[in-house]
Amino acid sequence: MNIRDKILIVEDERSISNFLRTILVSNDYDVIIARSGAEAYSMITSHCPDLIVLDLGLPDIDGLQIIKSVREWTLLPIVVVSARSHERDKVQALDLGADDYITKPFGAGELLARIRTAIRHTRTGLANETIATTGKFKAGSLEIDYDKHQVLIDGSNAGLTQNEYKIVALLGKCAGKVLTYDYIIKELWGPGTRGNNQSLRVHMANIRRKIEKSPAEPQYIFTEIGVGYRMVEGD
Amino acid sequence: MNKSNHIKSGNSAVRALRNWAISLLVLGVAWLLCSSLKKLSSSDVYVPMIFVLAVLIISLLTDGYFYGVLASIVSVIGVNYAFTYPYMKLDFSIYGYPTTFMTMLAVSLVISTLTTRVREQEKLRHETAQAQLKANLLRAISHDLRTPLTSIIGSIDTVIAEDGHLNGSERAELLGDAKKDAEWLVRMVENLLSITRISGAEETVISKSPELIEEIIGECVSNFKKRHPDVNLKVLIPDEPLTVDVDAMLIEQVLMNLMDNAVYHSETMTELSIEASVGEGFARIAVSDDGVGLDPDIIPELFKGQIGASKGHPCDGNKFRGIGLAVCSAIISAHGGSITAANRPEGGAVFEFTIPMEDSLQ
């Protein structure tokens, strides 16, 4: 008998939690369901799930509050489910420590991919396993060489500046996960530079012109409008 | 709610300030004019005339009756005090004084009444037009929602009821149709959400921030490719990164609607292209296809949300067309830009919209 990952779904809509349960169970996860924030609290502590799928719009407690208090004692991955009307909550949720978000309505494939990425990231820590062993990140013809501080496209140096390299390197380490503007800025230039993401945007525009075939049809670094950037999953 | 109240009270403060400024300015000018004329001629017949004119202008330019009436009282006292014999003294026993006063008061009341009435009528006309627009949208929406819902219910009913008789591919086809229609409903609902955001009372509630056009297009393109992997898509952007001050979600929606329209209506399209470019003080985005093009008769009606509601324009089940373009037009005008549709000389349709750019953002 194999041991399966246990996923806690926090969702008050019965039809949505039913459909989530069905796809997750058929993809070999154990599923438990909480229908309110209070129930979620007690299930997190008693069941110790491997991942939480959290709907931000709960009847009793603000979903953001749950993220905040869970993050006080555990790094257990949280994937947030948000409606389009809660755009700002999305960024807030990520900045509070949620691992990823998915916007309603979503397909089964998308959700499963997010869950796999989130679980893997928590298992292997921030640094991707391949990066830790080989010092390299590869996706298609993009290669980040962490030892030489270089980004290669089709084997040749893309000629990134230092700041540009730092951005790509950071995104590569968290490949598959969306990083908010604030997070990237803080990681790169320290906590004092909050609020101005214009220069980050300009750096990104330059990076895209160096590594993407067509900057408006990116293959490697995707924009999540109003939220941040996401590097494609490595090979 | 709080915020809009705040804006409104701020607005009324600004208006009051403006009204006071106008009143003081006009009266000041009249006063100066009279003082300087007094030096040139000994007669003072022109004085009441000038002040009547001042009262008229104030009544015309300010809101309501208050400022006009106030100005006429001030003028009467001022004229009496400064410009009629005995100078620099109030004397209400002068011959003709009541006539001057009554004239000024009457002028201010009549003009104020007229302007207020005209303004109210303008407001009423505007409201009627808004209500008309909303009614049109609602009609188009309810019409557009019924079709996919009918098909979803029908497909799922069939799958449930005929479970034993359907083979695998029939089942998959029915469910696939239901899914396609549900996806379309989602986009419709997003259009509706956008409408509530841009037509919230008088103030628009869009939240603009500086965004790179290529990022907006990029996100649209990747979403679009997920839904229509087979479409041959060409994207052209300027070499220099282009920043515009917009609500990115809404602009994305405009692009999405235009691209979807091309897919669903151009029939013979082999290539869809998106091109961003810079014009004099604005950014321009064009979505063009090489399909059948637009019926020239319907081009003027395209952005009004009424296509399909009027008879004589057969379009495929009226789907996908009702409100999409009306929403596009509303979003673009909320950004101070414009949107146009035309047929390309080489065949196919082109939809083009502009967004003003501030110099500091370039």
Q: What is the pLDDT of residues A87-102, one digit of tens each?
A: 678 888 999 999 999 8
| 3-state secondary structure at position B95 | coil
Q: Please give the pLDDT value at position B305.
A: 62
Distance from CA of A181 to the nearest CA of B (A): 13
Q: Which residue did the predictor score with more confidence, B68 or B246? A: B246
Q: Look up residue A80 and give its two tokens.
A: 């947030």
Find chain B residues with C-beta within 8 A of A217's C-beta.
Answer: 218, 221-222, 233, 235
Least confident of A96-105, A156-165, B81-90, B130-139: B81-90
Candidates B209, B214, B256: best to mutate against A (most CBs of A within 10 A) is B214
Q: Look up residue B296 and give its two tokens.
A: 């020239």
Q: Please give the pLDDT value at position B148.
A: 84
The answer to whether the peptide bond before residue A215 is cis (omega within 30 degrees of 0) is no
Q: Once rounded to an integer, what is the mean pLDDT over residues B350-357?
A: 93
Q: Please give the pLDDT value at position A86.
A: 62
Q: Please give the pLDDT value at position B210.
A: 87
Q: Is A87 on the interface with B (CB under 8 A)?
A: yes
- CB within 8 Å: B248 and A226: yes
Q: Please give the pLDDT value at position B85.
A: 66
Q: Please give the pLDDT value at position A205.
A: 92
Residue B275 has pLDDT above 80, yes or no: yes
CA dihedral over A101, A8, A21, A36, signed as positive or negative:
negative
- A47 to each of A11, A23, A100, how far by Cα in Å? 17, 21, 22
Q: Is A216 on the interface with B (CB under 8 A)?
A: yes
Share of chain B above pLDDT 90, in %: 15
* Nearest by CB: A222 against B193, B222, B276: B222
- B188 to each of B137, B315, B323, how far by Cα in Å? 12, 18, 8
Least confident of A47-51, A156-160, B75-79, B111-115: B75-79
Q: How far is CA B166 from the centre of its chain?
A: 51
* Nearest by CB: B214 against A84, A215, A226: A215
Q: Which residue did the predictor score with more confidence, B20 or B313? A: B20
* Alpha carbons A101 and B6: distance in angstroms, whole number: 34
Q: Please give the pLDDT value at position B74.
A: 84
* Alpha carbons B308 and B325: distance in angstroms, whole number: 13
* Alpha carbons B328 and A199: distance in angstroms, whole number: 30
pLDDT confidence bin for B271, thresholds 50/70/90 = very high
What is the 8-class DSSP label of residue A102? E
Q: Please give the pLDDT value at position B199.
A: 64
* Alpha carbons B73 and B318: distance in angstroms, whole number: 63
Distance from CA of A206 to the nearest CA of B (A): 8
Q: Which residue did the predictor score with more confidence, B9 or B19? A: B19
Residue B202 has pLDDT above 60, yes or no: no
The domain spans of chain B are 2-126, 144-198, 209-361
Find chain A residues with C-beta within 8 A of B244's C-beta.
Answer: none
Q: Please give the pLDDT value at position B316.
A: 43
Find chain B residues with C-beta within 8 A of A86's C-beta.
Answer: none
Q: Once rounded to an integer, what is the mean pLDDT over residues B92-101?
A: 71
Q: Which residue did the predictor score with more confidence, B338 or B319? A: B338
**CATH code of the domain made up of A129-231:** 1.10.10.10
Residue B313 has pLDDT above 50, yes or no: no
* Alpha carbons A223 and A235: distance in angstroms, whole number: 20
A vs B: CB pairs below 8 A? 60
Q: Are B216 and B255 in contact (CB under 8 A)?
A: yes
The answer to whether the peptide bond before residue B241 is cis (omega within 30 degrees of 0) is no
DSSP string, B121-147: HHHHHHHHHHHHHHHHHHHHHHHHHHH
- CB within 8 Å: A218 and B217: no
Nearest to A111 by CA among A220, A16, A188: A16
Q: Kindly report, residue by residue over A88-137, the tens digit of the pLDDT.
A: 788 889 999 999 998 888 888 889 989 988 888 777 654 567 777 788 88
Q: Once rounded to an integer, what is the mean pLDDT over residues A195-218?
A: 87
- CB within 8 Å: A216 and B186: no
Q: Please give the pLDDT value at position B208.
A: 82
Distance from CA of A38 to the nearest CA of B (A): 30
Distance from CA of A215 to the nearest CA of B (A): 7
Find chain A residues with C-beta within 8 A of B233's C-beta.
Answer: 217
Distance from CA of A43 to the nearest CA of B (A): 33
Residue A216 has pLDDT above 90, yes or no: no
The β-bridge relationship of strands A78-82 and A51-55 is parallel
Sheet holding B272-278, edge to edge: B233-236, B272-278, B282-289, B349-356, B339-343
Q: Once rounded to an integer, what is the mean pLDDT over residues A46-50?
A: 91
Residue B5 has pLDDT above 70, yes or no: no
Q: Kindly report, residue by residue over A66-85, the tens digit of the pLDDT.
A: 999 999 988 899 999 887 66
Alpha carbon dihedral A180, A185, A190, A191, in 10-degree steps, equals: -50
The domain spans of chain A are 6-124, 129-231
- A161 to each of A164, A210, A222, how far by Cα in Å? 5, 10, 20
Residue B285 has pLDDT above 90, yes or no: yes
Q: Please give the pLDDT value at position B309.
A: 43
Q: Is 3.10.520.10 the CATH classification of the domain at B209-361? A: no
Candidates A104, A206, A222, A223: best to mutate against B (most CBs of B within 10 A) is A223
**CATH code of the domain made up of A6-124:** 3.40.50.2300
| 3-state secondary structure at position B150 | helix
Q: Please give the pLDDT value at position B205.
A: 63
Q: Are B351 and B286 in contact (CB under 8 A)?
A: yes
Interface of B with A (CB under 8 A): 186, 190, 193, 209-212, 214-219, 221-222, 233, 235, 237, 239, 241, 243, 248-249, 252, 274, 276
The answer to whether the peptide bond before residue B300 is cis (omega within 30 degrees of 0) is no
The per-residue pLDDT of chain A, averaged, comes to 87
Q: What is the pTM of this model?
A: 0.69
Share of chain A above pLDDT 70, in %: 93
| Tally of CA atoms within 13 A in the half-sphere of B234 that contains its CB | 12
Residues 6+ apart with CB under 8 A from B204: B197, B198, B334
Tell me how many helices (H) and strands (E) chain A has: 9, 12
Q: Please give the pLDDT value at position B6.
A: 47
* Alpha carbons B211 and B246: distance in angstroms, whole number: 7
Least confident of B123-132, B152-161, B188-197, B345-354: B188-197
Q: Look up residue B171 and give its two tokens.
A: 């089942």
Q: Please give the pLDDT value at position A204.
A: 93
Instruction: State which residue of chain B sits closest to A212, comparing Cα positions.
Output: B218
In this structure, the number of other CB atoms found within 10 A of the CB of residue A63 comes to 25
Q: Once rounded to an integer, what is the mean pLDDT over residues A9-32?
A: 91
Strands (E), B99-237: 209-212, 233-236
pLDDT confidence bin for B311, thresholds 50/70/90 = very low
């980004």: which residue's tokens? A151
Q: Please give the pLDDT value at position B315.
A: 44
- CB within 8 Å: A201 and B218: no
Q: Please give the pLDDT value at position B350.
A: 94
Distance from CA of A150 to the nearest CA of B (A): 24
Residue B3 has pLDDT above 50, yes or no: no
Q: Kindly report, residue by residue over B49-81, the tens digit of the pLDDT.
A: 888 888 888 888 888 788 888 888 888 787 777
